[in-house]
Amino acid sequence: MNMFARMRAISVSLILALMVAGGLAAVSTGKQSKKEPAGDAAKGQVLFKQNCDLCHYPDRTDKKLGPGLKGLFSLKELPSSHKPVTEENVRAQIEAGSPDAKPMPMPPFKDKLKPAEMDALMAYLKTL
Footprint of ligand HEC (CB under 6 A): 51-52, 54-56, 65-67, 69, 78-81, 83, 90, 93-94, 98, 101, 104, 106-107, 109
30/103 with CB nearer ligand HEC:
103
User: What is the number of the residue whose Cβ is closest to ligand HEC?
Assistant: 66
Listed in sequence order, the DSSP H helices in 1-128 are: 3-35, 41-51, 87-96, 115-125
Report how far residue 110's alpha carbon sits from residue 121's, in angstroms, rounded to the nearest whole number.
13
Nearer to ligand HEC, 30 or 99 (CB): 99
Q: CA–CA separation, 41 vs 83, rounded Å?
A: 24
Q: Minimum distance from CB of 111 to ligand HEC (Å)?
A: 12
Write down the least CB distance from residue 40 to ligand HEC, Å: 15
Nearest to 107 by CA among 48, 55, 31, 43: 55
